[in-house]
Amino acid sequence: MASALKTYGTLIGFILVVVFFWIEIPDTFMTAKNWLNISQQVSMLAVVAFTMTIVMVMGDFDLSVGSMASLAGIVAALAFHDGYGVEIGVALALIIGLAGGLLNGVLVAYVGILPFVATLGTLTIYSGLAFLVSGGKTIFGRDIPPAFSGFARSGIPLSDTVSLPSLTLVAALVLLAVWFVLEQTTFGRRLYAIGGNKEAARLAGIRVKRLRFFAFGLSGLGAATAGLMYASRVASANPTQGSGLMLDAIAAVFLGMTMSDEGEPHVLATLVGVLILGVLGNGLTQMSIDSYVREVLIGSIIVLAVAASSIGKARG
């Protein structure tokens, strides 16, 4: 019983939250349209949380994802502003994301700075760069090509009234890719070994430094992808628009980690974490509850879930 609660507590909590809103908002909550809406709302957070899972599998963090998302959006928008096409703008943003992530990787793996400190530093650098290159202004309107902003509004029609949003599809593809990398490849297996015991992994012939370097690159790439999704959705880019992503992404991974025996992050568990945050946001908004209350609630849920699973472990 206790161990079931430990493993499934977070999942049960998620179901309770869903049931609560279903009862409180009977007309609109439990509808395909609302769920597709939720999926679109959380898609950017989801992408960041999924790629964050990759570094957290090794026991590391990437605090720079939010400012990297902002920077990537700005870079793409500036490219559009200078007359480059959608493909070029998107490619540039993704390259910046990968490069920024790999820089984190160099600092953590090769220079040997603690991930917390290294990515706190680059968080500030990327954020500063976003302000610097944009002049602190929001880039919007005619600068953003319709083909780019239209993507977030497009979708695959599922029936006459609802369609699967393209952003949701992107998040699903990233989920699939990260799941494949972490759970099906030798790369993923090695990352889990590093997270389990770095020294044993190294002595067993795992190139710990190189893998950490690449994993941070993937996290940066995910952050840039989310930044592009965000810019597309609001048809504009400003240097702070990604800033809320980092804490929510780490929170989602933590919520997911409470579902594993070993306290290891797994990307499907991260998905549950993302959905908890997304459903809470959606439901509370529909109930017209203050967004500050939402923050207090989400914070409490994270603390409760993690506390419950640590208490379970301390006893075990």
Partner 1 sequence: MTLLSIRDLDKSFAGARALSGASLEVRAGEVHALMGENGAGKSTLIKVLAGVVKPDAGGIEIDGAPISIASPADALRLGLRFIHQELSVVPHLSVAENIFLGRDYPRRWRFMIDWEGLNRAAAAVLAGLGVSHINPARKMARLTVGDQMLVKIAAAFQDASIGGGVPARLYVMDEPTAALSAEESQRLFAVIRRLRAHGAGIIYVSHRLDEVMELADRLTVLRDGATVATRDIAGLQKLEVIELMIGRRFAEGYPPRLAPVANEMALSVQHLSTGYLQDVSFEVHKGEILGLAGLEGAGQSEVIRAIVGADGGHDGAISLAGRPVKIDEPVSAWAKGLAFLPRERRQEGLVASASIAGNVSLPHLDDLVRFGLVLDRAAETEQAVGLGRQVKLKAKGPRQKVRELSGGNQQKVVFARVIAGKPEVLLLDEPTRGVDVGARYDIHALLRELTAEGKTVVLASSDLPELVYMADRVIVFRDGKVATTVSTEGLDQAALAALCFGTPTAPSA
Size of the site for partner 1 (CB under 8 A): 23
C-alpha 300/C-alpha 276 separation (Å) is: 13
Number of alpha carbons in the 13 Å side-chain half-sphere of residue 120: 5
Q: Which of 124, 184 has the CB closer to partner 1?
A: 184
- The footprint of partner 1 on residues 246-275 (CB under 8 A) is 262, 264
Q: Which of 154, 184 has the CB closer to partner 1?
A: 184
Q: Which of 22, 180 has the CB closer to partner 1?
A: 180
- The footprint of partner 1 on residues 152-181 (CB under 8 A) is none
C-alpha 65/C-alpha 70 separation (Å) is: 9
Please report how close the Cβ of residue 66 comes to partner 1 at its closest, in angstroms: 29
The pair of three-digit structure tokens given for residue 230, joined into one six-digit string: 């965000």
Q: Which of 57, 98 has the CB closer to partner 1?
A: 57
DSSP assignment of 236-275 equals EE-TTTTTTHHHHHHHHHHHHHTTSTT----HHHHHHHHH
The pair of three-digit structure tokens given for residue 8, joined into one six-digit string: 């499934």
- The footprint of partner 1 on residues 177-236 (CB under 8 A) is 184-190, 192-193, 195-197, 199-207
Please report how close the Cβ of residue 308 comes to partner 1 at its closest, in angstroms: 20
Contact between 3 and partner 1 by CB under 8 A: the answer reads no
C-alpha 227/C-alpha 230 separation (Å) is: 5
Q: Which of 59, 155 has the CB closer to partner 1?
A: 59
Please report how close the Cβ of residue 97 comes to partner 1 at its closest, in angstroms: 22
Beta-bridge mates of residue 157: 163
Q: Which of 155, 196 has the CB closer to partner 1?
A: 196
CB 210 within 8 A of CB 109: yes
Residue recorded with tokens 């504009």? 236
Q: Which of 24, 262 has the CB closer to partner 1?
A: 262
CB 211 within 8 A of CB 194: yes
Please report how close the Cβ of residue 70 comes to partner 1 at its closest, in angstroms: 32
The number of residues making up the chain comes to: 316
Three-point CA angle 247, 251, 252, nearest 5°: 120
Please report how close the Cβ of residue 206 comes to partner 1 at its closest, in angstroms: 7
Please report how close the Cβ of residue 306 comes to partner 1 at its closest, in angstroms: 18
C-alpha 298/C-alpha 304 separation (Å) is: 10
Please report how close the Cβ of residue 207 comes to partner 1 at its closest, in angstroms: 5
Comparing CA positions, the residue from 262, 166, 177, 191 lying closest to residue 221 is: 177
Contact positions vs partner 1 (CB under 8 A): 184-190, 192-193, 195-197, 199-207, 262, 264
